[in-house]
Amino acid sequence: MSEKHIIEITHLDKYFGDFHVLKNINLSVAAGERIVICGPSGSGKSTLIRCINHLEQHDGGEIIVEGIPLNDSVKNIDFIRSEVGMVFQQFNLFPHMTVLENCILAPVWVKGVPRAEAEMLALQYLERVRIPDQADKYPGQLSGGQQQRVAIARSLCMQPRIMLFDEPTSALDPEMIKEVLEVMVDLAEQGMTMLCVTHEMGFARRVADRVIFMDEGEIIEENTPAAFFDNPQNDRTKLFLSQIIGD
């Protein structure tokens, strides 16, 4: 197991009741690597990244993040969660707090950052996601695209080393997808380790180091974007790509 791998997943198994969602998944992610995971719905791709910060508990195999094994230990889970940021499809901003309060909540209460410092940091990240002037608004007052960018800023405020994106643009109107993707591209260019579940193939081509295709709980194919899109090996991949592009 090499040291430069920031995430090591070996023989991962996960069940929902009798349903085998993830079957013997093996995946290593190097620091700074950008991975796009795609596949038909129900293929287990969301479950896979939700396992990485323990929103889902895996049933077999091992997940090691920055050398720390993800197991029942609360200490390990807390550590990994503070190192791993996550962006959800439905944004999941806290509706009763302003944008700024959303952003400083975790730094203040998890890391013990003084409030003034956390606010400065938050404003900095809000600027990076291009909405510095919305800090005192409530999530309900923002558009979907703005909300998702706040959600990204909120995660960045914890200064994570890894970011997980769970279909970040699927709940957005087309004209808002672009503004969120731009923020994600920025982030990628600054060297963040990223795992994105997304169907935005343009984004994958432009940013990803590797594209992973999953179906029925298994990794079917993984390759560089160029090879993946232009010369898919597996029949299921071909079918999926034709559907996506025909879409």
Partner 1 sequence: MNTVFSLWSSQKGRNLIVQLLMVAGFLGLVWWLVDNTVANLARQNVATGFGFLENNTGFDINQKLIAYDESSSYQRLLLVGLLNTAIVSVLGIFFATLIGFMVGLARLSDNWLVSKLAFLYVEIFRNLPLLIQILFWYVLLIEILPHPRNSFALGDMFFLNNRGLYLPWFTSLSGGNIVLWAIALFGVGWFFVSRQAQKRRELTGQKSSYTRHYFILGVIALAGYLSLWGVPFEPNLPALKGFNFRGGLSFTPEFVALLVALSLYTASFIAEIVRAGVLCVAKGQFEAAKALGLPTNVAMNKVIIPQAMRVIIPPLTSQYLNLTKNSSLAAAIAYPELVSVFAGTALNQTGQAVEIIFITMSIYLFLSLLTSFLMNIYNARVALVEK
CA atoms within 13 A on the CB side of 115: 3
Determine if 114 is a binding residue for partner 1 (CB under 8 A): yes
Among 43, 47, 53, 169, which residue interacts with partner 1 (rule: CB under 8 A)? 53
What is the distance between the alpha carbons of residues 150 and 170, in angstroms, rounded to a whole number? 16
Only one of the segments 33-41, 87-95, 175-183, 235-243 lies at the binding site for partner 1 (rule: CB under 8 A); that segment is 87-95
On whether the CB atoms of residues 143 and 135 are closer than 8 A, the answer is no
246 is a contact residue toward partner 1 (CB under 8 A):
no
Q: Which three-class secondary structure state does DSSP give residue 158?
A: coil
**How wide is the angle at C-alpha 37 spanned by C-alphas 172 and 238, nearest 5°?**
100
* 195 is an interface residue for partner 1 by CB under 8 A: no
For partner 1, give the closer residue by CB, 73 or 242. Answer: 73
| Residue 149 in the binding site for partner 1 (CB under 8 A) | no
- Tokens for 120, please give them: 């400065």
Q: Is 131 in the site for partner 1 (CB under 8 A)?
A: no
Contact 43, 221 (CB under 8 A): no
159 binds partner 1 (CB under 8 A): no
Ordered alpha helix ranges (H), the chain: 45-52, 74-83, 99-106, 115-128, 144-156, 174-189, 201-207, 225-230, 235-246
Is 109 an interacting residue with respect to partner 1 (CB under 8 A)? yes
- Site size toward partner 1 (CB under 8 A) is 37
Segment lying near partner 1 (by CB under 8 A), choices 20-28, 81-89, 224-232, 238-246 = 81-89
- Assess 122 for contact with partner 1 (CB under 8 A): no
Q: Which of 10, 92, 170, 223 binds partner 1 (CB under 8 A)?
A: 92
- Cβ(27)–Cβ(9) under 8 Å? yes
Largest CA distance in the chain: 55
Give me the least distance between CB of 244 and partner 1, in Å please: 26
- What residues make contact with partner 1 under the rule CB under 8 A? 53-55, 78, 81-82, 84-86, 88, 90, 92-96, 105-106, 108-118, 137-138, 140-141, 151, 154-155, 158
